[in-house]
Structure 1
Amino acid sequence: MIRFEHVTKRYADGTTAVDDLSFEVAEGELVTLVGPSGCGKTTTMKMVNRLVEPTSGRVLVDGRDVTATDPVELRRRIGYVIQQVGLFPHRTVLENTATVPRLLGTGRAAAHARAAELLDLVGLDPRTFGDRYPDQLSGGQRQRVGVARALAADPPVLLMDEPFGAVDPVVRERLQSEFLKLQSRMRKTVLFVTHDLEEAVRLGDRMAVYGHGRIEQLDTPATVLGAPATPYVADFVGADRALRRLSVTPVEEAHLDRPPVVRLDDPLPRDGARAVVLDADGRPYGWLPGAAEAAREHGTTREHGTAPGHGTAPGQDTARRPRTVREGARPMEARVPLGGSLREAFSAMLRYDAGWIAVVDPDGDGRYLGVLTPERLHEALRRSVGGVTPR
């Protein structure tokens, strides 16, 4: 979809911003460009929509040389999101979002309907936010409007220049998550510029690590972190790159344990085994302690030779034992979707101090698939950080 063929950008003062750059971005792929300030990543992106003209070489979008296309027409067909958003302060959120469709000749009613649809898609109710002005929004909300506006004409290509860089870390992480969900549905071809390595790793199908004016390595985040191509890349991604791999290493079927399973309204199992409790729809409800755990919790003791539950002797059971799974079940709050990252799983285990993490179907119904135990998670972590030998 996007192809760079031996592209160089050299300025009049002799500065070379990009030097003999050749790479491709496939249709529906998100490639992050990451590197230090002044390395040429933003210049690269701006040559796609002719905000910067190449000195030599060719940039092609869908097989056409961009220099053979009128720049205004080209830019109307390419979504563009920048750090400072660039919303028109005198226009409402709905009018801002409808800008490009209107410029392309779409009628006002149709353009506003499309804008409302996209605002809803990025998590802004058009009935609440449509009539507001940009200065009435938070930074994160303005960024969402910027993304909606870039998508309004349904462009095949989306250029994003540090779009989440101006918001606080909590909002930034939320915006990244929302954008990943959006991209999974829309599958735009995206060039995403960032100086944040964590963001590049989290978002990119592939990531390009820039040196000065050139790409040192272009590969999947897992490969870049696990097998840096050059000493420069190894230094850039850092000594803790093995830990960063956890963010891009998915939880897989092979990692799962499958302990006994019981249903919520079943009677307590006779074997007294520890088990996962599922609701009627096959979703994880909780877990059932084994017989030994339950006995310890109920304080079962024997004093003066009297067995628990007999008469009123000291030491008898004072709490009624559960009779059904529902009565005996404990909540199991730690859960991750299959395909979620090992980092998510490790974080959930620490957050909930959990012995089991429920792994569920990622398609939205939350159906139970198995559990991650500390042992299985440790094994997966070891394979992740040690599975690729650096070159």
Structure 2
Amino acid sequence: MIRFEHVTKRYADGTTAVDDLSFEVAKGELITLVGPSGCGKTTTMKMVNRLIEPTDGRILLDGEDIADADPVELRRRIGYVIQQVGLFPHKTILDNTATVPHLLGRPRKAARARAAELLDLVGLDPSVYGDRYPDQLSGGQRQRVGVARALAADPPVLLMDEPFGAVDPVVREHLQNEFLRLQSTLHKTVLFVTHDIEEAVRLGDRIAVYGAGRIEQLDTPATVLGAPATPYTAEFVGADRGLKRLAVTPVEAADLDEPPVVRLDDPVSRAADALSAADAPWAVVLDTDGSPYGWVAADALTGPAADRTAGVRDLARPMTAAVPLGTPLRQALSTLLQHDAGWLAVLDGDRYRGVLTPAALHGALRRATTADAADLPRDEVALDTVPRT
């Protein structure tokens, strides 16, 4: 969709902002450009919509050299979101969002109808926010309007220059979640500039790590974190890249422990026999629908006070912590900590698949890192462990 061929940007004072850059962005792909200030990432992005003209090389958009396009028409076909949003203060939110469709010749009524659809898509009810002005919105709401406005003409390409950098961390995370939801539906081709490696890891299908005017590594977040290509990349992503890796490593079925399973309506005798056969200290308890209810300890089933004619329901302890299969390990760890739990139930849809423990979570991270370094499927990696004494 976007192709850079030996692109260089050199200024009159001799400064080279971008040096011989060649890479491609596939249709529907989101690439995050990450690096320190002055490394050339914003220059790269602005050359796509010709806010900055390259000195050498060429940029192709869907096979066409953008140098042959009228700059104004080109920009109207490319969505552009910046940190400060740039909304017109004298226009309502609905009219701000309708600006580009109107410029492209849509009737005012149709442009406003499209704007209302997009405001709703980014979580702003047009009946509530449409008639407001930018200074009547919070920073996070203005950023949502900026995204809606960039999408208003249904552009195939979206350029985003640190769009969430001006809001507090809580709002920023919420905006990131909303944007990921939108992207999973719209599948735009996106160049996303950020200086935050965690944001780059979280959002990007691939990450371009910039050095001085050039890309040091362009790969998936998992590979950049697990196998940095250069010492510069390793230093930039940080010594704690293993922790960052939690955000891009999903929970897989092979990561799960499978303790004994009993049913809420089972008699104590049957549950005790199951735990004894497995030599297990506890069991997961499922309700009558097969959904996780909680757990029961072996001691409660076999102790002197245990009534073997009673039901598991009388002894089971509720445990509501659960995550879907495919959840990032970071989110799973957060859920463990939130519930102060020793394990999480993992679900595939409504079906119980197993439990994730802290030890299993650590093993999943180790396997993922080793798999990337060795270019192996994750389920083919066996781990050496230190035996317990």
Report the TM-score when normalising by structure 1: 0.86
Aligned to 1:257: 257
Q: How far apart, in 1, do the equivalents of 2:323 and 2:340 lie?
A: 15
Aligned to 1:80: 80
Structure 1 residues 216-258: Cα deviation after superposition (integer angstroms, max 9, x where no partner): 1101111111111111111111111122111111111111234
Aligned to 2:284: 275
Structure 1 residues 264-310: Cα deviation after superposition (integer angstroms, max 9, x where no partner): 6x354542352232464x544x21313524678xxx76xxxxxx89x
Q: Is the 8 A contact 2:3 2:60 kept in 1?
A: yes
Task: Give the fraction of aligned pairs with identical amino acids, expressed as a percent.
Answer: 73
Aligned to 1:292: 299
Q: 1:102: Cα distance to partner? A: 1.0
Aligned to 2:35: 35
Q: Is the deviation greater in 252-261 or in 59-68?
A: 252-261
Structure 1 residues 71-114: Cα deviation after superposition (integer angstroms, max 9, x where no partner): 11111111110000011111111111111111111122222221
CA gap of 1:378–1:16, structure 2 versus 1, over 3 A, is: closer
Q: Is the 8 A contact 1:27 1:188 kept in 2?
A: yes
Aligned pairs for 1:125-144 within 5 A: 125-144=125-144
CA gap of 1:40–1:291, structure 2 versus 1, over 3 A, is: same
Q: Is the 8 A contact 2:79 2:158 kept in 1?
A: yes
Q: Is the 8 A contact 1:49 1:71 kept in 2?
A: yes
CA gap of 1:75–1:330, structure 2 versus 1, over 3 A, is: farther
Query: For residue 377 of structure 1, what is the amino acid of its counterpart?
Result: L
Q: 1:31: Cα distance to partner? A: 0.3
Query: For residue 181 of structure 1, what is the amino acid of its counterpart?
Result: R
1:23 matches 2:10: no
Q: 1:351: Cα distance to partner? A: 2.0
**Runs of 4 or more above 6 Å deviation:** none
Tell me the secondary structure at the aligned position of residue 381 of structure 1: helix
Structure 2 unmatched runs, 5+: 276-282, 376-389
Q: How far apart, in 2, do the equivalents of 1:366 and 1:136 lie?
A: 42
Q: 1:356: Cα distance to partner? A: 2.2
CA gap of 1:256–1:390, structure 2 versus 1, over 3 A, is: closer
CA gap of 1:16–1:328, structure 2 versus 1, over 3 A, is: same
Q: 1:336: Cα distance to partner? A: 2.1
Q: Is the 8 A contact 1:251 1:338 kept in 2?
A: yes
1:223 matches 2:207: no
Aligned to 2:324: 337
Structure 1 residues 5-58: Cα deviation after superposition (integer angstroms, max 9, x where no partner): 000111111111111100000001000000010010000000000100111110
Aligned to 1:377: 361
2:333 to 319, 340, 346: 346
Tell me the secondary structure at the aligned position of residue 140 of structure 1: helix
Q: Is the 8 A contact 2:294 2:320 kept in 1?
A: no
Q: How far apart, in 1, do the equivalents of 2:55 and 2:36 lie?
A: 23
Structure 1 residues 154-211: Cα deviation after superposition (integer angstroms, max 9, x where no partner): 1110000000000001111111111111111111100000000110111111000111
Structure 1 unmatched runs, 5+: 302-307, 310-320
Aligned pairs for 1:173-252 within 5 A: 173-252=173-252
Tell me the secondary structure at the aligned position of residue 9 of structure 1: strand
Tell me the secondary structure at the aligned position of residue 289 of structure 1: strand
Task: Compute the RMSD of aligned alpha carbons.
Answer: 2.3
Q: Is the deviation greater in 203-212 or in 116-125?
A: 116-125
Structure 1 residues 323-373: Cα deviation after superposition (integer angstroms, max 9, x where no partner): 474x65543332222222111112221221212212233xxx554333213
Q: How far apart, in 2, do the equivalents of 1:55 and 1:151 lie?
A: 30
Query: For residue 140 of structure 1, what is the amino acid of its counterpart?
Result: G
User: Computing the radius of gyration over CA atoms, which structure comes out larger, 1 or 2?
Assistant: 1
Q: Is the 8 A contact 1:246 1:385 kept in 2?
A: no
* Residue correspondences, number: 364
Q: Is the 8 A contact 1:226 1:390 kept in 2?
A: no
Q: Is the 8 A contact 2:245 2:365 kept in 1?
A: no
Q: Is the 8 A contact 1:228 1:390 kept in 2?
A: no
Query: For residue 67 of structure 1, what is the amino acid of its counterpart?
Result: A
Query: For residue 222 of structure 1, what is the amino acid of its counterpart?
Result: A
CA gap of 1:283–1:28, structure 2 versus 1, over 3 A, is: farther
Q: How far apart, in 2, do the equivalents of 1:346 and 1:230 lie?
A: 30
Report the TM-score when normalising by structure 2: 0.87
Aligned to 1:113: 113
Q: Is the 8 A contact 2:116 2:126 kept in 1?
A: yes
Q: How far apart, in 1, do the equivalents of 2:29 and 2:358 lie?
A: 35
Q: How far apart, in 1, do the equivalents of 2:310 and 2:113 lie?
A: 56
Tell me the secondary structure at the aligned position of residue 270 of structure 2: coil
Q: How far apart, in 2, do the equivalents of 1:120 and 1:276 lie?
A: 41
Query: For residue 337 of structure 1, what is the amino acid of its counterpart?
Result: P
